[in-house]
Structure formats: structure tokens, C-alpha cells
Amino acid sequence: MSKKGRYNVYSDHLKNKYGEKVYKLPVNLPGGCPNRDGTVTSGGCIFCDEKGSGFQCLPNSMSIEEQVAKNKAFFTKRFKAKKFIVYFQAFTNTYWPLDIFKSFIRAASHDEDVVAISISTRPDCINDDYLDFLQKIRAEKGVDINIELGLQTVNYHTLKKINRGHTLAEFIDAVIRIKKHGFLICAHLILNLPWDDENDVIENSKIISAFEIEYVKLHSLYIVEGTKLGEMYKKGEFEVISLKDYINSVVTFLEHLHPDTVVQRLVGKGPQDKLLFSNWNTSWWYIKEQIENELEVRDTWQGKKCNYLNGKALARWRNSKNDKY
């Protein structure tokens, strides 16, 4: 839990796990996405710009080794960093022929200061062959493997509306396969999609908890010029909820979240360019502080309402004198 003890903070978790602060080294592949090239759908998710959510990365013309070395040198010089997670961040990093995917992962695992590899992808871009290979790499190199799955919401109708090209079923299939291979999972969710309501926020939290997913990243919706979402926004087809309502949604989400899940982010950082809307024109850091303050003010915490697992209806007898269990 954080210093305030109200939710599981990722940086604290990493320090406990690896004994010191660990830094992420973003790697940008010249890849694509089956939701943009017509394999699944064309056009992509309605919020996605052509950078594929990789706006903080180095150019993908650089080799993986160069990107890792350059980012590592930066963190080493600035923060005296010693341990690193290579983070395949932009686009859909498992959407490659298996041989090419293998070469990328091998290139990322040379450096002995790399303690983990984190691979961001879509739920419909994971299969057992790729996971079998990752198991071998873990055994050979002794690195942890984390798979980041974009889900955004569990609501079927909203997933259709945002043109995700998959539903909850593909996410469940990917989670089961990844867990069978013993890797950790981080789920990405957007908590203020305009077609979702509070029930969806709670259901998002319950699904993550029921699958004992280890990490979660919460994002707020950003709207970029040139995207379908941007066009809809300019035509007034939807409104973004207020910052106060976003903070309420995050608090509700945390209350229902399993106490062991680690929260990597409470709000996204958003891209820099061509923005129509991002984080209510304030900094992600301010929003994070407001959420933490709200937890304090309400005297609430992660897991406070996580009472729905393991046969909730039987709980009435759990401490009864007649309880034979």
C-alpha cells in the first residue's frame, strides 16, 4: 500500500520486489496493429492516433539495442538507476510473425541489468506459441515477463462503439493462457468512456479482481485531432465527464478492486500534440493527488468493497455456530 496505506502503489511494489527503484526503458517497434490494417477491422480504435499510443518513445528507426542503451544511459546518469524493465509500449507488440517476435525479445534481453520485459498488446494477439517462447526466455535469462493487455472496458456495447475489434471473451481467453504460462498481467482501462456509467466502472474492477490480475493501469480519455473520436467530439456527439466525476470513478474502482492488485497508474499522461481534450487541462500529477486526497477525505481504500468473491451469498453463515466448514 502507499505511504497513506490506501492503495497499492506500483513504485513501492517494484522496490519491495527488486530491492531498489526500477526504471522502465520504452522501446518503440516499427509495428502495426490488426485493428488498423484490416486484419480485425480497419480504422483502429476511435481514440487512437497514428502514433499508436507510443508518444513517449524514441523513433522506431533505431534498433532495439540502441533504444535500450540510450534510455538506460539517460536513467543511469540522471537517477543512478541500476535495474530496468524493457517496455514494448507502442502499437501491438506481439503482432509479428513468431520468428521476428523472437528476435525482438532476444534483442531486449541482452542487458544483464534488465530484470523484466513488459510487452503491451491486444487480447487477440496472444497465443500459446508466443507464450511458450517467452517461457524459454524467462528460463534462459532469468527475467520476469509481464504482458500488458488493452481492454479499456468490459462493456460489450462500448467496446463495439470504440471499435476495439474484440470483446471481453478474447480478453478472458488471453488472461487464462497467460496465467497458465505463469506470467504477470497488467490490464489497461479507460474509466471515463462516454458510453460507460458507474456500473461499468464497478464491473471493470470486479472482472480484474475475479481473475486475480496483478496490475492495472487506469487512463482518462484523451481526444486527438484527426481521430474518429475527435470528429465526434467536435460535433458534440458526447461529453466528457467532469474531473470531479473521474475522481469519483477512480475511488469507486479502487474500493471494489482486490486488495492485492497493484495500481500502476490512476490516470494517463496523455499525448502532447493535436489535443482536443486531455486531463481537463491539468497535470496528471495534480489529478493523482486529488484522487489520493479523496481517498483520505472519504476514509476509504482499495478493496473496501471487494466482498463479492468466493461465494458472497454464503458469507452470512461463515461465522455461525452451525458452520461445519
53, with CB counted inside 10 A (0-12, 13-18, 19+), is buried
CA distance 92 to 319: 48
52 or 303: CB nearest ligand SF4 = 52
Q: Would you give the DSSP letter of residue 1?
A: -
53 binds ligand SF4 (CB under 6 A): yes
DSSP lists the bridge partners of residue 263 as 9, 216
> Of 8, 28, 71, 92, which one interacts with ligand SF4 (CB under 6 A)?
92
> Of 44, 123, 230, 303, which one interacts with ligand SF4 (CB under 6 A)?
44
116 or 149: CB nearest ligand SF4 = 149
- Helix (H) or strand (E) holding 201, with range, is helix 198-210
Buried b (16+ CB within 10 A) or exposed e, 300-309: bbbbbbbeee
Number of residues written out for the chain: 325
Give the distance, in angstroms, between the CA of residue 76 and the centroid of all CA atoms in the same chain.
25
CA distance 151 to 144: 22
Q: Return the SS3 of 281.
A: helix
28 or 209: CB nearest ligand SF4 = 28
> Of 22, 33, 151, 218, which one interacts with ligand SF4 (CB under 6 A)?
33
Rounded to 10 degrees, the C-alpha dihedral 60/64/65/69 comes to: 60
Closest CA to 144 of 110, 106, 183, 111: 183
41 or 300: CB nearest ligand SF4 = 41
Rounded to 10 degrees, the C-alpha dihedral 37/222/120/155 comes to: -80
75 or 91: CB nearest ligand SF4 = 91
Binding mask 211-240 for ligand SF4 (x = CB under 6 A): ------------------------------
> Of 6, 72, 122, 206, which one interacts with ligand SF4 (CB under 6 A)?
122
Q: In the range 124-163, which residues lie near ligand SF4 by CB under 6 A?
A: 150
The count of C-alpha atoms lying within 13 angstroms of the C-alpha of 260, restricted to the half-sphere facing its C-beta, is 8
Stretch touching ligand SF4 by CB under 6 A, among 28-36, 181-189, 255-263, 277-285: 28-36
> Of 22, 27, 36, 94, which one interacts with ligand SF4 (CB under 6 A)?
36
Stretch touching ligand SF4 by CB under 6 A, among 11-19, 40-48, 134-142, 263-271: 40-48
Stretch touching ligand SF4 by CB under 6 A, among 45-53, 72-80, 222-230, 307-315: 45-53
68 binds ligand SF4 (CB under 6 A): no
CA distance 277 to 68: 32
35 binds ligand SF4 (CB under 6 A): yes
- In the complex, which residues of this chain contact ligand SF4 (CB under 6 A)? 33, 35-36, 44-45, 48, 52-53, 91-92, 122, 150
